[in-house]
Amino acid sequence: MTDHVLIFDTTLRDGEQSPGATMTHSEKLEIAEMLDDMGVDIIEAGFPIASEGDFKAVSEIAQRSKDAQICGLSRANFKDIDRCWEAVKHSARPRIHTFIGTSPLHRAIPNLDMDQMAERIHDCVTHARNLCDNVQWSSMDATRTEWDFLKRTVDIAIKAGASTINIPDTVGYTEPVESADLIKRLIQEVDGADTVIFSTHCHNDLGMATANSLAAVAGGARQIECTINGLGERAGNTALEEVVMAMRVRKDIMPYGTRIDTTKIMNISRRVSTVSGFPVQFNKAIVGKNAFAHESGIHQDGMLKNRETFEVMRPEDVGLSGTSLPLGKHSGRAALRDKLEKLGVEMGDNELKDIFVRFKDLADRKKEVFDEDLIALIRQNDGTDDHLKLKDLTVICGMNGPQKATMVLEIDGDDKTVQATGDGPVDATFNAVKQLFPHGARLQLYQVHAVTEGTDAQATVSVRMEEEGRIATGESADTDTVVASAKAYINALNRLIVRREQTSVGYDEKAVSYKDTGK
Ligand code: KIV
Ligand code: ZN
């Protein structure tokens, strides 16, 4: 007998809230479509009151949704709830998610005592319920809330008509035994608990988000809130791929089913990594580059005899192709399409045409194009909507500096040229960008990785920049490390420009302190 566990994905809300993980409107729509296609039950598409951009994204995702319920987040006040409803109501299956921090520390922010907060919860859930018959209540920081008061908040929310009760471990403080117990006790002790779905929402501050979520399911929760790659505030949220694969691989002790098509995991993981600018750690469970790699002789020998010796799941189960035969400059469009399909990447004819041109260009410079090279190629956006585009770059290097970069940069349609010097080729290149497009952003991180082995390997460069509290990341790959660096830097600047354009409505910053605005 399996029991269904609902998968509630919050990549586009809690994930996007992570500093630097801002996504553009079209990227959000694309990710939402991929989540819907992979079988996510509920997509939390954003925080509609937070900004015009969030509102538009949630409404458009709601209009385009197919099978998934579309949920928006709102603080416990009428203005937030109304705005949320305006955005989600276009969905065939809308959900309003409203919350307030119930622990002593969080109660101090709006300065409400327990009775005032209890009244607020009753009024807000009732208000949301008058708009929508699918309302989720969250007692934020539940795991640090006094037991009696937590029970009281849950009881009020159920009586006011919430159909899902979420118990967030907002600061990643709990541990598995406590997580299971908390849900179990609430189900046992709150009236009407059998009429609602209990949900778990864990953060990974102590590295226990996956374990805590699965323990909550053992305690009776039937909804897991999670994100792709575990993206999210601070150390992130529970990773969707981890809880889904754990329940699948260990069905013997966790007899729960989900609707997730696990073969779509790798593809969406790569896409989220690209659009958020957050690289996936090499040894990350399920989706890391090394998750299915076997280096040591003893492991390789075992694997050749019987793959189960060192693997608890097959790479194919998560959408990795079993074999990796490289393409070369003589490979045609059909071979490329076939390879992309094996990698789980679906493309229209126009997109394929564009990738084919870039693939040929790469194959001219590199003898063998491996799966990883293709993935790096796809990860780069085509730059159509960008304000800044790199048109040309020549760098003169040598032992007797300073190094010199000559650059042509297209800025909103106009080509501008400059020559700049610097302490090394990358510094000269970044100085050239700064001279052509003066900005006050500070480079916080610059990282280079080789995509494959060999001296002709592509380099993937990631940069993170900060400007007046706004953070943006950029990534690019090229066989020329300096060109990859220039593109990654320009990519981050383009994202910062988008970030500047996103105007906040009644909200200070998305790196939310969940300030209360009252009803
Ligand atoms: O971590 C948290 O408590 C949240 C709530 C808004 C559900 O993200
Ligand atoms: Zn959260």
**According to the 3-state scheme, what is the secondary structure of 176-239?**
HHHHHHHHHHHHHHCCCHHHCEEEEEEECCCCCHHHHHHHHHHCCCCEEEEEHHHCCCCCCECE
According to the model, what pLDDT value does residue 384 have?
A: 66
**Residue 415: pLDDT over 90:** yes
**Residue 331: pLDDT over 50:** yes
Alpha-carbon gap, residue 275 to 20, rounded angstroms:
11
Ligand 1 contact, 198 CB (< 6 A): no
Which of the two residues, 451 and 514, has the higher pLDDT score? Answer: 451
**Residue 447: pLDDT over 60:** yes
Closest ligand to the CA of 101: 1
pLDDT digits (tens, 9 = 90+) for 461-510: 988 888 888 888 888 889 999 999 999 999 899 988 877 776 443 333 33
Strands 470-478 and 388-396: unpaired
According to the model, what pLDDT value does residue 279 have?
A: 84
Contacts of 361 (CB under 8 A, 6+ apart): none
Which of 17, 44, 73 has most ligand 1 atoms within 8 Å of its beta carbon, as the pocket-test mutant?
73
Q: Encoding tokens for residue 225?
A: 């809130």
- Between 402-406, 423-427, 476-480, the lowest mean confidence (pLDDT) is in 476-480
Q: Encoding tokens for residue 481?
A: 């490390």
pLDDT-derived band at 519, boundaries 50, 70, 90: very low
According to the model, what pLDDT value does residue 511 have?
A: 33
Q: Contact 454/460 with Cβ under 8 angstroms?
A: no
Find the distance separating the first CA and the last CA of the chain, reported in whole Å. 46
Name 447's bridge partners.
Answer: 462
**Residue 86: pLDDT over 80:** yes
pTM of full prediction above 0.95 = no
Alpha-carbon gap, residue 493 to 465, rounded angstroms:
8
Nearest to 493 by CA among 410, 417, 404, 421: 410
- How many whole angstroms from 378 Cα to the centroid of ligand 1? 33
pLDDT-derived band at 294, boundaries 50, 70, 90: low
- Per DSSP, the three-state class of 280 is coil
**Residue 308: pLDDT over 80:** no
Q: What is the average per-residue pLDDT within 274-283?
A: 86
- Nearest residue (CA) to ligand 1, atom 4: 170
* Residue 317 exposed, middle or buried by CB count within 10 Å (0-12, 13-18, 19+): middle
Nearest to 357 by CA among 335, 375, 334, 333: 333
pLDDT-derived band at 249, boundaries 50, 70, 90: very high
Strands 197-202 and 223-226: parallel
pLDDT-derived band at 139, boundaries 50, 70, 90: very high
- Nearest residue (CA) to ligand 1, atom 1: 170
- Nearest residue (CA) to ligand 1, atom 8: 14
According to the model, what pLDDT value does residue 289 have?
A: 83
Ligand 1 contact, 145 CB (< 6 A): no
Ligand 1 contact, 99 CB (< 6 A): yes
**Residue-averaged pLDDT of the chain:** 89
According to the model, what pLDDT value does residue 458 have?
A: 85
pLDDT-derived band at 513, boundaries 50, 70, 90: very low
Alpha-carbon gap, residue 288 to 269, rounded angstroms:
9
Which of 80, 106, 109, 170 has most ligand 1 atoms within 8 Å of its beta carbon, as the pocket-test mutant?
170
Alpha-carbon gap, residue 344 to 371, rounded angstroms:
11
Ligand 1 contact, 232 CB (< 6 A): no
